[in-house]
Amino acid sequence: MIVIDGETLKIEEVVAVARNFEEVSVSKEAYARVKKSKEYVEKILASGKAVYGITTGVGELANTRITPEESKKLQLNLIRSHATGVGKPFPEDVVRGIILLRANALAKGYSGVRKEVIDLLVTLLNEKIVPYIPSQGSVGASGDLAPLAHLALVLIGEGECIVDGKRVNSIEVFNKKGIKPITLMPKEGLALINGTQVMASIGCLVVSEAECLMKNAQIAGAMSLEALKGTAKAMDPKIHSLRPYSGQIKVASNIRKLVKNSEIIASHKNCEKVQDAYTLRCIPQVYGAIIDVIEYARKVIQTEINSATDNPLIFPDEEEVISGGNFHGEPLAFAMDFLGIALSEIANISERTIDRLVNPHVSGLPAFLSKKSGLNSGFMISQYTAASLVSENKVLAFPSSVDSIPTSAGQEDHVSMGTISARNAWKIIKNVEYVLSIEMMCAAQGIDFFKEKSGTGTGVSHGLIRKYVKHTDDDRILYKDVEKIKKLIISGEIVDKVEERIGKL
């Protein structure tokens, strides 16, 4: 059970709820803050004071006064008018992350909503109800308005849910489960749609995947180092102590552990080759820098998921309502753009390594890793696929945060495009998973040509890959092998088995 309080939610808990269906509850302390915040909203309504989104319109209409009864109607109108998302719906894990993060933000107690609103969000999670939320339409300020409006539509019984892959009216789903939709009170509609929870949900999942992927990238790199008869000398700690980036030092140490006791590397210790290509020699420098970027993104996301990001914010103790800009997604936009760029570099190095593995002019291995090349194409076209994915990533890695198109008649004259940044980082990581799968497949084939034993860590990864994917003598369909290795990567099975043997990477 994950207990949310608006203050202490962790990325790992978001992933547990999003993907492992961990149940959720709300702390008593959070409920107390929520109650106090809502009571102050009632006090404002009674006073007739002009407060944005409560007794006034929103956006360009912020100077238009409305009555308490009109305020209720305003909340409903906001949800209906803002639900303009288009495109394919977000997958279930992203949607569950969005719901959890929205509930957690409201539980901070600065949004002026009733506990019933938060309770219904939690019910969606615990009842495994999946709202239909289109993936396109957010500019990342005032938060993720359009997609969050689709979530809010479900809460009022007017939206749609995904059931067995089909769109079903949410009220039908509610009726089957005995759930009642809510009637929005003043401030509640605005509180539900102002926020960064869509980009933050994607960010949590991408950061979690990136951390696992980065370990797999180092394992793949170590296997390639062996297959290409590289040297571990470039991993010497003396080198890396002179440029002490934490990621770089960590990767060099991991590669040393992975290839420790490698008879393959030892067999050509005294060969005439002076140094390896950059794709092998600079693994610590490049992959280390990527680790540092992932850590930066983690810090940003971790801060964001425990933040109050709607507008205006309610401060009942000070009896104050302040309009600000916490809904602006710029911190996440930068982090997701940076992360997408960094993840693209994994594939860039991996594809170049694949090319070296299949190229007999530099590998010292059979052409295209096939002893019967000519009659067989071997792994030739695998490199083509990797090159295609790398090229696609170059387009996706262009920073969305450098763009801004004014909205709401110029009132919202700078936006983050952070949700596009997050979606692109998400697409990039899926492409990288395939490129690394191809590298592992090719590296395992290359290692097969040696009689000598692999290193302590690479021996484990090579053995596990061979458990699922056989050595290729004659041409066969390879896409199924790539998919099998990809499953080993994303499940964490390769990392788990290797770490059991050599310790944490």
Alpha helices (H) along 185-262: 188-193, 197-227, 237-241, 246-259
Of 236, 226, 235, 237, whose CA–CA distance to 267 is shortest? 226
Of 120, 88, 127, 106, whose CA–CA distance to 31 is shortest? 106
Of 253, 211, 251, 256, whose CA–CA distance to 230 is shortest? 256
Q: Has residue 320 been placed in a domain?
A: no
3-state helix, strand, coil in the chain (%, to 5): 60, 5, 30
Structure confidence at residue 500 (pLDDT): 97
Structure confidence at residue 492 (pLDDT): 96
Structure confidence at residue 233 (pLDDT): 92
Of 11, 79, 89, 16, whose CA–CA distance to 2 is shortest? 16
pLDDT band at 477 (very low <50, low <70, confident <90, very high): very high
Is the model's pLDDT at 502 over the cut of 70?
Answer: yes
Could you tell me which residues are beta bridge partners of residue 26?
4
Structure confidence at residue 73 (pLDDT): 85
Residues 168, 266 within the same domain: no
Q: Between 52 and 338, whose confidence is greater? A: 338
Q: Has residue 254 been placed in a domain?
A: yes
Residues 158, 232 within the same domain: no
Residues 95, 36 within the same domain: yes
Measured between its terminal Cα atoms, the distance across the chain in Å is 29
Strands 24-26 and 86-89: unpaired
The predicted-structure confidence for 371-410, as pLDDT tens digits, reads as follows 988 899 999 999 999 999 999 999 999 999 999 998 888 8
Q: Has residue 318 been placed in a domain?
A: no
Please identify, among 169, 195, 221, the residue that sits at the C-terminal boundary of a domain.
Answer: 195
Residues 174, 234 within the same domain: no
Structure confidence at residue 61 (pLDDT): 64
Helix (H, G, I), strand (E, B) or coil at 135: strand
Token pair 């760029």 is found at: 341
Tell me the CATH number at 476.
1.20.200.10
The mean-pLDDT minimum among 40-54, 317-331, 465-479 falls in 40-54
Of 412, 413, 417, 314, whose CA–CA distance to 58 is shortest? 412
Phi, psi of 504 (to 5 degrees): -65, 135
Is the model's pLDDT at 283 over the cut of 90?
Answer: yes
Residues 58, 98 within the same domain: yes
Distance in angstroms (rounded) separating the CA atoms of residues 449 and 160 = 56
Q: CB 271: neighbour CB atoms within 10 A?
A: 9
Distance in angstroms (rounded) separating the CA atoms of residues 332 and 207 = 12
Q: Is the peptide bond before 312 cis (omega within 30 degrees of 0)?
A: yes
pLDDT band at 271 (very low <50, low <70, confident <90, very high): low
CA 416 to chain centre: 18
368: tokens are 């295209």
Distance in angstroms (rounded) separating the CA atoms of residues 194 and 359 = 53
Q: Has residue 291 been placed in a domain?
A: yes
Token pair 């210790």 is found at: 269
Residues 387, 467 within the same domain: yes
Most confident of 53-57, 321-325, 469-473: 469-473
Please identify, among 150, 167, 195, the residue that sits at the C-terminal boundary of a domain.
Answer: 195
Half-sphere exposure of 162 (CA within 13 A, CB side): 17
Please identify, among 151, 172, 195, the residue that sits at the C-terminal boundary of a domain.
Answer: 195
Distance in angstroms (rounded) separating the CA atoms of residues 130 and 90 = 10
Q: Is the peptide bond before 401 cis (omega within 30 degrees of 0)?
A: no
Give the whole-number percent of the chain exceeding pLDDT 90. 87
Distance in angstroms (rounded) separating the CA atoms of residues 29 and 6 = 10
Contact call for residues 389 and 434 (beta carbons, < 8 A): yes
Using the Cα atoms of residue 306, residue 307, residue 310 and residue 315 in order, give the sign of their dihedral: positive
Residues 400, 435 within the same domain: yes
Q: Has residue 33 been placed in a domain?
A: yes
Helix (H, G, I), strand (E, B) or coil at 76: helix
Residues 118, 208 within the same domain: no
Average pLDDT score over the chain? 94
Residues 241, 188 within the same domain: no
Residues 251, 372 within the same domain: yes
Q: Has residue 314 been placed in a domain?
A: no
Residues 367, 427 within the same domain: yes
Query: What are the CA-CA distances from residue 248 to residues 212, 236, 291, 432, 456 (Å)?
Result: 17, 11, 8, 20, 21
Is the model's pLDDT at 59 over the cut of 70?
Answer: no
The predicted-structure confidence for 404-433, as pLDDT tens digits, reads as follows 998 888 888 899 999 999 999 999 999 999
Exposed, middle or buried: residue 238 (CB in 10 Å: 0-12, 13-18, 19+)? exposed
Distance in angstroms (rounded) separating the CA atoms of residues 4 and 121 = 12
Q: Has residue 321 been placed in a domain?
A: no
Tell me the CATH number at 123.
1.10.275.10
Distance in angstroms (rounded) separating the CA atoms of residues 426 and 290 = 16
Instruction: Indicate if 296 belongs to the active site.
Output: no
Contact call for residues 487 and 460 (beta carbons, < 8 A): no
Distance in angstroms (rounded) separating the CA atoms of residues 369 and 444 = 10
The mean-pLDDT minimum among 317-321, 427-431, 483-487, 490-494 falls in 317-321
Segments forming the whole domain that contains residue 139:
2-195
Structure confidence at residue 60 (pLDDT): 62
pLDDT band at 51 (very low <50, low <70, confident <90, very high): confident
Token pair 């000070």 is found at: 318
Number of domains in the chain: 2
Residues 239, 184 within the same domain: no
Contact call for residues 297 and 335 (beta carbons, < 8 A): yes
Contact call for residues 354 and 485 (beta carbons, < 8 A): no
pLDDT band at 57 (very low <50, low <70, confident <90, very high): confident
Distance in angstroms (rounded) separating the CA atoms of residues 354 and 368 = 10
pLDDT band at 272 (very low <50, low <70, confident <90, very high): low
Is the model's pLDDT at 64 over the cut of 80?
Answer: no
List the catalytic residue out of 31, 40, 52, 110: 52
Distance in angstroms (rounded) separating the CA atoms of residues 474 and 55 = 74
Average pLDDT for 119-137 = 98
Contact call for residues 54 and 45 (beta carbons, < 8 A): yes
CA 466 to chain centre: 30
The predicted-structure confidence for 65-109, as pLDDT tens digits, reads as follows 877 778 788 889 999 999 999 999 999 999 999 999 999 999 999
Structure confidence at residue 359 (pLDDT): 96
pTM: 0.95
Is the model's pLDDT at 175 over the cut of 90?
Answer: yes
